[in-house]
Amino acid sequence: MEDWSGVALGQYLHSQSLDWPEVLAIALQLADILHELIQHRVVHKDIKPANYHSQDLRS
């Protein structure tokens, strides 16, 4: 199993209340990631907050 560094978005969402600028920043980052995957014809069949990890999220 791979070692993922950072905080899972699902875990972060359960531990924090987010303000709108942070919601927008996360949404834009996820949109960029999905766009990049589509450009490379990568199909991800299990997109969910638990599968998104970021070192940018404050734990």
Note the pLDDT tens digit of each residue in 16-44. Answer: 888 999 889 889 988 998 899 899 998 87
Q: Which residue has the higher pLDDT, 53 or 27?
A: 27
- Mean pLDDT across the stretch 51-58? 75
CB 49 within 8 A of CB 9: yes
Residue 48 has pLDDT above 80, yes or no: yes
Question: pTM of this prediction?
Answer: 0.71
Domain count for the chain, please give it.
1
| DSSP annotation string for the chain | -----SEEHHHHHHH----HHHHHHHHHHHHHHHHHHHHTT---S---GGG-EESSS--
Res 10: pLDDT:
86
Domain that holds residue 43: 17-51
Neighbours of 10 (CB within 10 A): 14
